[in-house]
Structure 1
Amino acid sequence: MSSKAVSFQAADFTHRLVSTPAGRVHLVEQGTGPLVLLVHGFPESWYSWRHQLPALAAAGYRAVAVDVRGYGRSSRPDGVDAYRMLELVADQAAVVEALGERSAVVVGHDWGATIAANCALVRPDVFRAVALLSVPYTPRGGPRPSEVFAQMGGDEEFYVSYFQEPGRAEAEIEPDVRGWLAGFYAALSGDTMPAPGTPDPHFVTRGGTLRDRFPSGPLPAWLGESDLDVYAEEFERTGLTGALNRYRNMDRDWEDLAAYDGAPIPQPSLFVGGARDASTTWLSDAIDAYPVTLPGLMSSHLLDDCGHWIQQERPAEINQLLTGWLASLPAGILDRVAG
């Protein structure tokens, strides 16, 4: 591992496969105590939580990081609609049950934050508290998502729209998975992202690719060569379709979740974002709305000079914030989690 990457202990990690509606979910766990479920985003895996698993275990929790449906050793159903949000929520609830628990605290990053928020929204009986990293909670509402994304960028195309067409992004990424991932991670990292005023890597020129705007310098400080190998080897084996299918269900989610239009999440919550992350700057209004949308919010933090990959860029700070928040949860929350 690169000397710049934070070391971690993998010896105590336990890998398991559990049955879920998708067929199986691969998970990695460490520790004993109340269950804390960790849900990753795009394009990552359980490995993005490698620094949190031992820290949570040392603090007295049963920390479990999953490979989301479509990733890693978890099942990858063929149908695009198998990756809709309600299916992913059902997977997380099934993981809790398969682990012999009745409830859990759920923590998510990037798409995992959106999955975690919807777990809390749809299954409050199972998910008693929720922590969101990088991507703020934005209640369902407004126009159809594909219509919103199509209007962004003017003469350029927003990356979400680019990802929504089956096969298109795969054709860009899969000939050089490792190189593409290195560029994508660097483009959204606080220490390597393009300078202000340069072309935004979230947009694609007509007829171009996302990679055209990725930085070509060194890896981010948080990403050692061996870390990049872990991610690249998984996606070289599985391809990117399962991961990208999450983007291809946003209109289905909008339809499926109509009953939750504008709904707040009342459970105890935590938000942590990177001050240099587009997710927090573009969605600053969503953060401002937390008194209404997250009435159970216990604390909210923006980390200076931090980009999108927050639990890997700032593992010590995230570990401190997570364990402090867990320790301060209202009486009874963790007792019910321990089930």
Structure 2
Amino acid sequence: MEAIKHSHVQVRGLNLHLAEIGTGSEVVLFLHGFPEIWYTWRHQMVAVAKAGYRAIGFDFRGYGLSDQPAEPDKANFLDFLHDTIALLDLLAIPKVYLVGKDFGAIVGSMVAAAHQDRVAGFITLGIPFLLPGPDGIRNHLMPNGFYINRWQEPGRAEKSGFRVALRVPYR
């Protein structure tokens, strides 16, 4: 797909798959939804690069071509926030435009709230901005029967034909 470069970078002890295109000094970081990968953003990344930005998408820990943590049961939702900031640090990106969809919008909200100095702008798709915290996510976005909740039940997603690499509790 139009010169999108792929690599793996070591972030907080895990190899994360990175896809990027463009060379602009301003960076747009795309955060995928659940149960997706960076590929969701391929067309938008090309368009953003053609507009003069550096576009980056990555597979969150446990997704796509990124490593799953050795002990996924010990992981928590804040790991996604810390991974994102560590990725920005590793790539020497002081400030970024975030675009998050679905699950990625929750991670983006957490980054924007906890690291305002690192965020030039933030766009959410499918989920409104929420202050970080498990109660807000659980009460407003995940009613009983919501697909993310259903997939937290061991074996349920696999019976549906999906491979779930990581189950992270919202705590």
Q: TM-score under structure 1 normalisation?
A: 0.45
SS of the residue 1:50 aligns to? helix
How many equivalent residue pairs? Answer: 168
SS of the residue 2:161 aligns to? helix
Contact 1:14 1:29 in 2 (8 A): yes
Match of 2:138 among 134, 145, 154: 145
The 1:114–1:159 alpha-carbon spacing in structure 2 relative to 1, beyond 3 Å, is: same
Q: Which residue of 2 aligns with 1:12?
A: 3
2:150 is the counterpart of 1:159: no
Match of 1:111 among 90, 99, 103: 103
Cα distance, 1:22 vs structure 2:
4.6
Q: Which residue of 1 aligns with 2:23?
A: 32
The 1:127–1:78 alpha-carbon spacing in structure 2 relative to 1, beyond 3 Å, is: same
Q: Which residue of 2 aligns with 1:328?
A: none
Q: Distance in 1 between matches of 2:100 and 2:75?
A: 17
The 1:82–1:149 alpha-carbon spacing in structure 2 relative to 1, beyond 3 Å, is: same
Q: Which residue of 1 aligns with 2:36?
A: 44
Q: Which residue of 2 aligns with 1:169?
A: 157
SS of the residue 2:7 aligns to? strand
Match of 1:56 among 26, 35, 48: 48
Q: Distance in 1 between matches of 2:136 and 2:65?
A: 35
Unmatched runs of 5 consecutive residues or more in structure 1:
1-9, 175-238, 253-339
Q: Distance in 2 between matches of 1:109 and 1:68?
A: 13
Cα distance, 1:90 vs structure 2:
1.1
In the TM superposition, 1:121-270 aligns within 5 A as 121-139=113-131, 140=133, 145=138, 152=144, 157-174=145-162, 239-242=163-166, 245-246=167-168, 249-250=169-170, 252=171
Contact 1:19 1:94 in 2 (8 A): no
Q: Distance in 1 between matches of 2:79 and 2:134?
A: 20
CA RMSD of aligned residues (A): 2.4
Q: Whose helix fraction is larger, Structure 1's or Structure 2's?
A: 1
Contact 1:39 1:113 in 2 (8 A): yes
Find the structure with the greater CA-based Rg. Answer: 1
Q: Distance in 1 between matches of 2:103 and 2:22?
A: 25
Cα distance, 1:114 vs structure 2:
0.6
Contact 2:29 2:55 in 1 (8 A): yes
The 1:52–1:19 alpha-carbon spacing in structure 2 relative to 1, beyond 3 Å, is: same
Cα distance, 1:124 vs structure 2:
1.8
Unmatched runs of 5 consecutive residues or more in structure 2:
none
Contact 1:108 1:116 in 2 (8 A): yes
SS of the residue 1:12 aligns to? coil
Q: Distance in 2 between matches of 1:128 and 1:143?
A: 24
Contact 1:167 1:241 in 2 (8 A): no
Q: Percent identity?
A: 35
Cα distance, 1:82 vs structure 2:
5.0
The 1:141–1:73 alpha-carbon spacing in structure 2 relative to 1, beyond 3 Å, is: closer
Q: TM-score under structure 2 normalisation?
A: 0.85
Q: Distance in 1 between matches of 2:12 and 2:49?
A: 28
SS of the residue 1:94 aligns to? helix
SS of the residue 1:170 aligns to? helix
Q: Deviations over 1:38-67 (max 9, x none)?
A: 010112111101111111011110000111
Contact 2:9 2:16 in 1 (8 A): yes
